[in-house]
Structures are given as structure tokens and as C-alpha cells.
């Protein structure tokens, strides 16, 4: 099983994949004091998500909420369907809260 090296430099998460033979040389090439973890393909995604900077996590959450706003839902709200209008209003409120959080963390 191929292993990867997960580490953070300058606040940015990084993953490097290498063969087992090159793993020690990759570790030796890291800047002094850099902490690292060995990851597998199965654990790399979870590590990556856990170490994304807060700004990127917020932007990803906003994008996911915007994707929930389907054309059908927007059409329904425009035509006066209260269910669709309420769902859109809820999504917009969540997006507004995330944007406020993003502005506060800048």
C-alpha cells in the first residue's frame, strides 16, 4: 500500500505521495521542526479536510449551500410558492452568516 506524507508549511496543508523506499528521504527533506503524519489513500482525505484553513472551509460551505439553490426552487419562489421561498430564505440566511464569519476572520 502506498503511503503519503501529510504536513503543513506556512499554514498550508500539503500531501506528498512516494514509494516506501523514498519515504525517509522525503521526511529528511522537510524543514526542521515540521511535524508530519503518514497517511494512506483512505485517511488522506479526512486529514486534508481537517487541516484546511478556516477561510477555505467557509468558502466550501458557501459553495455547497449555493448549489442547493436549484432552478426549480428559485422558479417556485418566484411564482409565490411559500415552501420554496422559505427554503431559499433559510439557505440565504446560512450563507449570510457564513459571509459574516468570513469577514470577521479576514
Looking at the fold, whether 46 and 78 belong to one and the same domain comes out as no
Looking at the fold, whether 58 and 99 belong to one and the same domain comes out as yes
Looking at the fold, whether 59 and 83 belong to one and the same domain comes out as yes
Reading the block at residue 56, the C-alpha cell is: 477555505
Q: Running DSSP on this structure, what letter comes out for residue 31?
A: P
Alpha carbon 13 to its chain centroid, in Å, reads: 11
pTM: 0.56
- By residue range, what is the domain housing residue 62? 54-104
- pLDDT at position 1 is 62
Q: What is the pLDDT of residues 16-54, one digit of tens each?
A: 988 878 888 889 999 998 999 999 988 998 888 888 888
Looking at the fold, whether 35 and 10 belong to one and the same domain comes out as yes
pLDDT band at 105 (very low <50, low <70, confident <90, very high): low
Reading the block at residue 105, the C-alpha cell is: 476572520
Amino acid at each position: 500500500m502506498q503511503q503519503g506524507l501529510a504536513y503543513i508549511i506556512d499554514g498550508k496543508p500539503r500531501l506528498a505521495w512516494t514509494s516506501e523506499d523514498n519515504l525517509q528521504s522525503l521526511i529528511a527533506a522537510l524543514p526542521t521542526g515540521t511535524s508530519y503524519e503518514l497517511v494512506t489513500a483512505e485517511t488522506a482525505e479526512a486529514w486534508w479536510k481537517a487541516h484546511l484553513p478556516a477561510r477555505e472551509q467557509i468558502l466550501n460551505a458557501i459553495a455547497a449551500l449555493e448549489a442547493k439553490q436549484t432552478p426549480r426552487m428559485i422558479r417556485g419562489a418566484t411564482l409565490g410558492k411559500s415552501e420554496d421561498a422559505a427554503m431559499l430564505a433559510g439557505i440565504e440566511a446560512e450563507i449570510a452568516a457564513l459571509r459574516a464569519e468570513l469577514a470577521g476572520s479576514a
